[in-house]
Amino acid sequence: MCGIVGYIGNKPAKDILLNGLSKLEYRGYDSAGVAIRNENGFDIIKSKGKLENLKNKLKDKNLFGTCGIGHTRWATHGEPTEFNAHPHNSYNENVVVVHNGIIENYLEIKEKLVTYGYTFYSQTDTEVIAKLIDFYLNETNQNPIQAISKFMLRVTGSYALAIMFKNLKDEIYVARKDSPLIIGICNNENFIASDVPAILRYTKDVYYLDNYQMAKISTNSTIFYNIDGMEVKKKLTHIQMDLSSAEKNGFEHFMLKEIHEQPEAIEKTIKSLVKNEDIFLDRTGITNDFLSKIENIFIIGCGSAYHVGITLKYVFEKLANINVQVDFASEFRYRNPVLLKNTLLIVISQSGETADSLAGLKEAKKQKVPTLGIVNVVGSSIAREVDYVLYTLAGPEISVATTKAYSAQLVAGYLLAIKLAECKNKINQITRKELIKDVIEIPDKISVILKRQNEIQMLSSKFVNVKNIFLIGRNIDYAVVLEGSLKMKEVSYIHTEAYPAGELKHGTISLIENNSLVIGSISNINLAEKTFSNMLETKSRGAILLGFLTKDIRSTICDYVFEVPQINPLFANSLVIVPMQIMSYYLSVLKGNDVDKPRNLAKSVTVE
Ligand code: G6P
């Protein structure tokens, strides 16, 4: 999704802004632009498409301004054109703005502004922001904080804003509601960004702007204000993330690097929760007594996070014998979910900023049930809104297609399930110890699979030209094929569908033809014969069969097999997903796709 950077200091802003924007490219975007101060106003330069286009435009321009803002835009209102790209300005560049988020009532405001003589050149909601702030600037006798505050009271929706005013040469202003914004602090220079990697190279000391807060940033100072325009003090945070986590470190793509980082991401997450073979949730604030009283679980999330929820449903039900429901956050928020007494609402999110997940969480809070977030990004909106937060320690994930965060979410969920089962007296001590041991062994087993990457590369080369891939599985294997299917389609652009193995014959089997690829995932020996039968049904209609099987399962029908190490079937998803991720990666590479930034996708979806 959109990205914001800003700089004010003594160095030329151009390269700093471009560098920052390049670090936000992973979020997904389709146009980019910068506004850099000059002696009389601003140079505003924008371009459609890749950042490279903007760089080329800026190459020969002598821009020496030391203050500026930049943006990568993922189109929502209006096509990805140069006109619609940010920064936007009021008129005469009086107010220049970059914006992440969506202003919901922008059309109504636009109509009002037209009656006051404002004209509009773009289809965006952001241009309305620039003009509305300009309008309030005139109303407040040119007081920027009052003008922004009036804007905040007038609009509905979400925003992170960086704003420059033509007449306030040494300042950049920022404001936020429901879309992240950080201010990086340094000696004689300050930075603005919507996400840490954009400024990591320059500073690790940041302020997180809160909802309904504003700040005035100059070279040597940052002053924060609440919505009433009163000054507020904020705590400086030192970011732990290191620069190398935002670099490829010898890997050709972030996706491959992050696939290989999975053992480490999982191990870190386990170590943060397991000591001496026992699970401790103290860091989350959750107590054993609290867990013992939970009778229902509701899990919400989007994309891969939702798939983690589906997997965890099986694990929670099996271990803790508890009623679990899972829903897409985008659906949950618009129906009438009935959250019974003693329900724990779990929201899963890598970024902690996904708009639908955040909205679903707010819906649950209205019903006053306790909420737990399984979140990767520290200090993110979801992490701050939930009652309890269980952090996954996957580190920053740059590739749009999630891999290591997904895997870390799974193990965090497994450990929560074991703890819940323990607190509800559903498992004895021996079983608990065995289960924890099974989880602890996951990273090593993944490392074994990663060493066989070449085998999967070879397999992928056989299937690069297939038009359709059908993935089937039963029980937890159904949950893993959901994720495998999503991974394949998002990066390879091959049409894939995931089905419960027994369900394919109720319609979708009509799509099977000669050389359709059917992938079966089987990790539970008790269900193996059933799934093999369903695979055979497709083979007799011309399908090629590829099996992802655990070591104990033998196939006589598959054309190709990739075997993963033996594991407790409850946790098999953590292993089976790895060859599926690697296959997705190679299908994408072989097709010449932009692996880390697949078309039309965004890393963190901060709009509905
Ligand atoms: C986007 C990403 C997916 C991700 C989903 C949820 O669609 O492309 O990979 O699973 O958002 O993101 P979250 O940050 O909430 O886990």
Strand partners, 518: 470, 545
Q: Is the CB of 392 under 6 A from ligand 1?
A: no
Q: Is the CB of 194 under 6 A from ligand 1?
A: no
CB 381 within 8 A of CB 392: no
For residue 526, name the pLDDT band (cuts at 50, 70, 90): very high
Going by alpha carbons, the residue nearest to atom 3 of ligand 1 is 303
The owner of tokens 């300009």 is 134
Q: Sheet harboring 157-165: ordered strands across? A: 88-89, 95-103, 157-165, 172-177, 213-217, 222-225, 231-232
Distance CA 358, CA 147 (A): 28
- Mean per-residue pLDDT of the chain: 94
| pLDDT of amino acid 29 | 86
Question: 3-state class of 68 per DSSP?
Answer: strand
Going by alpha carbons, the residue nearest to atom 4 of ligand 1 is 303
Going by alpha carbons, the residue nearest to atom 2 of ligand 1 is 603
The owner of tokens 């979400």 is 158
Q: Is the CB of 302 under 6 A from ligand 1?
A: yes
Distance CA 442, CA 422 (A): 21
Q: Is the CB of 303 under 6 A from ligand 1?
A: yes
Going from the Cα of 300 to the center of ligand 1, the distance in angstroms, rounded, reads: 12
275 is catalytic: no
| pLDDT of amino acid 351 | 92
Which tokens go with 212?
């309904």
Going from the Cα of 330 to the center of ligand 1, the distance in angstroms, rounded, reads: 12
Mind listing the pLDDT tens digit for each residue in 474-524? 999 999 999 999 999 999 999 999 999 999 889 888 899 999 999 999 999
The owner of tokens 């600037």 is 137
Query: Would you call 540 exposed, middle or buried from its count of C-beta atoms within 10 A (0-12, 13-18, 19+)?
Result: exposed
CA Rg value for the chain:
25
67 is catalytic: no
Which tokens go with 553?
């399962």
Q: What average pLDDT does the segment 551-562 reach?
A: 95
Q: Is 276 left (phi over 0), alpha (psi -120 to 50) or beta?
A: left
Q: Is the CB of 126 under 6 A from ligand 1?
A: no
Q: Is the CB of 381 under 6 A from ligand 1?
A: no
Question: 3-state class of 238 per DSSP?
Answer: strand
Q: Is the CB of 305 under 6 A from ligand 1?
A: yes
Q: Is the CB of 359 under 6 A from ligand 1?
A: no
- Give, for ligand 1, the residue of 299, 351, 404 to mutate: max count of ligand atoms closer than 8 Å to Cβ: 351
Q: In the predicted model, is pLDDT for residue 387 greater than 90?
A: yes
Question: 3-state class of 42 per DSSP?
Answer: strand
| pLDDT of amino acid 69 | 98
| pLDDT of amino acid 86 | 94
| pLDDT of amino acid 313 | 98
Torsion over CA: 568, 571, 573, 579 (sign): negative
| pLDDT of amino acid 91 | 82
CB 269 within 8 A of CB 411: yes
Distance CA 242, CA 239 (A): 8
For residue 247, name the pLDDT band (cuts at 50, 70, 90): confident
- Give, for ligand 1, the residue of 308, 348, 600, 604 to mutate: max count of ligand atoms closer than 8 Å to Cβ: 604
Ligand 1 atom closest to residue 307's alpha carbon, by position in its atom list = 10
Q: What is the DSSP letter of 540?
A: T
Going by alpha carbons, the residue nearest to atom 15 of ligand 1 is 349
Distance CA 337, CA 317 (A): 20
Q: Is the CB of 601 under 6 A from ligand 1?
A: yes
Mind listing the pLDDT tens digit for each residue in 419-433? 999 999 999 999 999
Going by alpha carbons, the residue nearest to atom 8 of ligand 1 is 603
Going from the Cα of 352 to the center of ligand 1, the distance in angstroms, rounded, reads: 9
Going from the Cα of 432 to the center of ligand 1, the distance in angstroms, rounded, reads: 32
Distance CA 279, CA 416 (A): 8
Question: 3-state class of 255 per DSSP?
Answer: helix
Q: Is the CB of 357 under 6 A from ligand 1?
A: yes
Q: In the predicted model, is pLDDT for residue 390 greater than 90?
A: yes
Q: In the predicted model, is pLDDT for residue 607 greater than 90?
A: no
Q: Report which of 416, 382, 577 is spatially closest to residue 498, judged by C-alpha positions.
A: 577
Q: Is 264 left (phi over 0), alpha (psi -120 to 50) or beta?
A: alpha
Query: Would you call 312 exposed, middle or buried from its count of C-beta atoms within 10 A (0-12, 13-18, 19+)?
Result: buried
Helical H runs in 248-396?
A: 254-260, 262-271, 288-292, 303-320, 329-332, 355-366, 381-385
Ligand 1 atom closest to residue 329's alpha carbon, by position in its atom list = 15
CA dihedral 440, 441, 444, 446 (to 10 degrees): -100
Going from the Cα of 360 to the center of ligand 1, the distance in angstroms, rounded, reads: 15
Buried b (16+ CB within 10 A) or exposed e, 455-468: ebeebbeebeebeb
Least reliable range by pLDDT among 32-41, 559-568, 590-599: 590-599
Mind listing the pLDDT tens digit for each residue in 165-184? 999 999 999 999 988 899 99
- Give, for ligand 1, the residue of 27, 259, 402 to mutate: max count of ligand atoms closer than 8 Å to Cβ: 402
| pLDDT of amino acid 600 | 84
Strand partners, 34: 45, 70
Query: Would you call 282 exposed, middle or buried from its count of C-beta atoms within 10 A (0-12, 13-18, 19+)?
Result: exposed
| pLDDT of amino acid 31 | 92
Ligand 1 atom closest to residue 402's alpha carbon, by position in its atom list = 9
The terminus-to-terminus CA distance of the chain in angstroms comes to 12
Q: In the predicted model, is pLDDT for residue 308 greater than 90?
A: yes
Which tokens go with 567?
């594991």
Task: Give the total residue count for the chain.
Answer: 608
Question: 3-state class of 88 per DSSP?
Answer: strand
Which tokens go with 11?
């160095």
Helix H, strand E, coil C: the string for 142-188 is CCHHHHHHHHHHHCCEEEEEEEEECCCCCCEEEEEEECCCEEEEECC
Question: 3-state class of 57 per DSSP?
Answer: helix
Query: Would you call 384 exposed, middle or buried from its count of C-beta atoms within 10 A (0-12, 13-18, 19+)?
Result: middle
Query: Would you call 116 exposed, middle or buried from its count of C-beta atoms within 10 A (0-12, 13-18, 19+)?
Result: exposed
| pLDDT of amino acid 153 | 96
Q: Which of 216, 445, 489, 603 is catalytic?
A: 603
- Give, for ligand 1, the residue of 605, 606, 607, 608 to mutate: max count of ligand atoms closer than 8 Å to Cβ: 605
